Structure 1
Amino acid sequence: MNNTNRYYSDDPNQQLQYNQPVFNQQNPFDNNNRQPEQLANQIGNYNHAAFNNPMNSYDNEYKGLVSSADSTIRAGFIAKVYAIMSFQLAITFLLILASYYFQNVRNAIIDTKTIKYTPFSIICFLIAFIVEIAIFCCRKVARRVPLNYILLIIFTLCFSTIVAAPCIICFELLSNGVELVIIAAAITLAITILLTIYAWRTKTDYSALGHLCFVLSASLLIMCIVGLFVRNIWFQLFICTICVIIYGGYIIFDTQLIIGNHSNYLSIDDYIIAAMLLYIDIVILFLRILEILMIIFGKN
């Protein structure tokens, strides 16, 4: 009898068979089964940093990456993110509209006599900055309901006040300020739609470029600091143009993070973070476009 395909132990009841193909067996030590998590984190108007926070299947708080979720869960996540982002943009639009029609709102945000920020605006900026850091840097805060929604509303109201300030300055100083704000909003909408469609359709993976985003953000921050001391209109125009290009790229970057078709590192529970990232990208893109229009086409 040929026993080359069997191994017999001392116990005749225990026989182990080898040299047989084994299918569907996963190596538990395979690093490919664990995907690191990368979050694009934007602080204030100029910082959009990305950092790595490894998460694996043994993390008690881990609910699953968007990229690994089924189509139904992923569609629900995307719908929730864009609904929250639309709510934020609606609040910002209503506040800008109120600042145009009501003088009291203008005076609360900007001192129309000296064209300077009021203490109320400075407080709103500080609150928005603190809430943003709390949401982006503490996952438990960003995922805890209803605390995350409360902080989201607080951030949106305070940040919308900061966004309305340049629009008020445009209304007060320029005779065609209203037209410039409308044109800037229309251009921002068109760019956002086109870049979103591109991010959905392209096969190129931009969601893995977190380190490049950090370098671009740091460079932009340095240029903005230099711009505080260099009062040159052409340098300001250059900064705004670079900012438009960078934040256009951020819209593609964050959209691919949200849809999860590429190297996605957002969890299903990170819908607040995803909505805030996209909201900030769109708002800052709008402000920089508005500044470019004010420099080129503004009429005193």
Structure 2
Amino acid sequence: MNNNNNRYYSDDPNQQLQYNQQTPNQQDPFNQNSKQPQQLAYQIGNVNHAAFNNPMAVNDSECSGLVSSADSDIRAGFIVKVYAIMSFQLSITFLLILASYYFQNVRNAIINTSTIQYTPLTIFCFVIALVIEVAIFCCRKVARKVPLNYILLTIFTLCFSTVVAAPCIICFELLSNGVQLVIIAASITVAITIMLTIYAWRTKTDYSAAGHFCFVLSMSVLIMCIIGLFVRNIWFHLFICTLCIIIYGGYIIFDTQLIIGNHSNYLTIDDYIIAAMLLYVDIVILFLRILEILMIIFGKT
């Protein structure tokens, strides 16, 4: 048997040939001792959704590979799946807001139009959405189990869309230019999302470490929102909304880099439900905060 560049040849057809023998300095990617702990992305919130910081170890039995280490075809398929799911969620939200504008029965089911207060249905939907959110983000096995993950995603989207439609209905009921404000807020949100997404794709800067900073800021905003329930001040409320826009703009960049996997090692190719929900919540909360600012500044009673 002759040795030539770590390749072994044999004239015996019954003898198994060994190619590319591993050198002592080469790391085995399938070695259990070489695994590094990975951290799950953050899902933050204020008055509309909860905040979680849930580091979890990724092992070979739970996932089929990190997005950052997958080949180009697998990564492209993951990205397409995530944005397709997110588009489905945004479409459901848009259709429900549209239905709340054209059908009075839908408005009455979500908001008590006489007292401008949330109905029990809206509160129930918020609780259900929060429970599903906790289950998906804190238990990755639930987020990866088909078709359970799609069922939970659909229920979450319907419930969360109901909660999102509530401030839009209030805008329709109280303001004469409420429809225009909702359209303007949606347009601004789309423009900001597109620009931040392009920036996240093209930039060489790694914003993965910014997740901790945004998480701390979001907790501070949550405390200020609680204070805002007792302190009725327009400028204080405008400050909170502006800070939320900055935070969620940062989260769009952060979560986009998680999805494309160029700079991060947090998501795996099985976490498409988690990735879609992260980006969906970022965009929706950004829209709500922009709408609140427009209602305060340009709303006409």
Aligned equivalent of 1:52, options 38, 51, 55: 55
Unaligned 5+ residue runs, structure 2?
1-22
Q: Give 1:35 shift.
A: 4.8
Contact 2:54 2:138 in 1 (8 A): no
Please point out which of 37, 40, 53 is paired with 2:39: 37
- Aligned residue number for residue 157 of structure 2: 156
Relative to the length of structure 1, the TM-score reads 0.88
Contact 1:49 1:217 in 2 (8 A): no
Identical amino acids, percent of aligned pairs:
77
List runs of 5+ in structure 1 lacking aligned partners: 1-21
Tell me by how many angstroms 1:55 deviates: 2.1
* Contact 1:39/1:266 (<8 A) preserved: yes
Counterpart in the other structure of 2:270:
269
Checking the alignment, whether the CA contact within 8 Å between 2:142 and 2:148 is kept in structure 1 is yes
2:117 aligns with 116
The number of residues matched between the two structures is 278
Alignment of 1:19-98 (within 5 A): 25-26=26-27, 34-42=36-44, 45-56=48-59, 59-98=60-99
Offset of residue 31 of structure 1: 8.2
SS at 1:125 equivalent: helix
1:166 aligns with 2:161: no
Indicate conservation of the 8 Å contact 2:211/2:251, yes or no.
no
Q: Secondary structure at the match of 2:114?
A: coil
Residues 49, 213 of structure 1: 8 Å contact kept: no
1:89-130 C-alpha deviation (Å, 9 max, x unpaired)? 000000000000000000000000000001111111111111
**Over aligned residues, Cα RMSD in angstroms?**
2.0
Question: What residue in structure 2 maps to residue 253 of structure 1?
Answer: 254
Helix, strand or coil at the partner of 2:150: helix
Cα distance per residue 1:27-78 (max 9 Å; x no partner): 789987625233222356254443321224xx41121110010000000000
TM-score, structure 2 length as denominator? 0.88
Contact 1:195 1:248 in 2 (8 A): yes
The farther-off stretch of 85-94 and 47-56 is 47-56
The one-letter amino acid paired with 2:55 is N
* Structure 1 segment 204-223 matched on structure 2, within 5 A: 204-223=205-224
| Structure richer in strand, relative to its length | 1
Q: Give me the whole-angstrom Cα distance separating, in 1, the residues matched to 2:191 and 2:224.
A: 27
Indicate the residue corresponding to 1:3 in structure 2: none
Alignment of 1:230 onto 2:231? yes
Report if the CA contact (8 A) 1:50-1:213 is conserved. no
State how far apart, in whole Å, the 2-side matches of 1:167 and 1:52 are. 35
Secondary structure at 1:134 match in 2: helix
Tell which structure's C-alpha radius of gyration is larger. 1
> How far has the Cα of 1:220 moved from its partner?
1.1
1:212 Cα offset (Å): 1.5
Bigger Cα displacement from structure 2, 31-40 vs 213-222? 31-40
What pairs up with 1:125-164 in 2 under 5 angstroms?
Answer: 125-164=126-165
Cα distance change on mapping 1:46 and 1:212 into 2, 3 Å:
farther
Distance in 1 (alpha carbons) for counterparts of 2:130 and 2:50: 11
Query: Which whole-Å CA distance do the structure 2 matches of 1:177 and 1:287 have between them?
Result: 13
State the shift of 1:167 in Å.
Answer: 0.4
Q: State the shift of 1:209 in Å.
A: 2.7
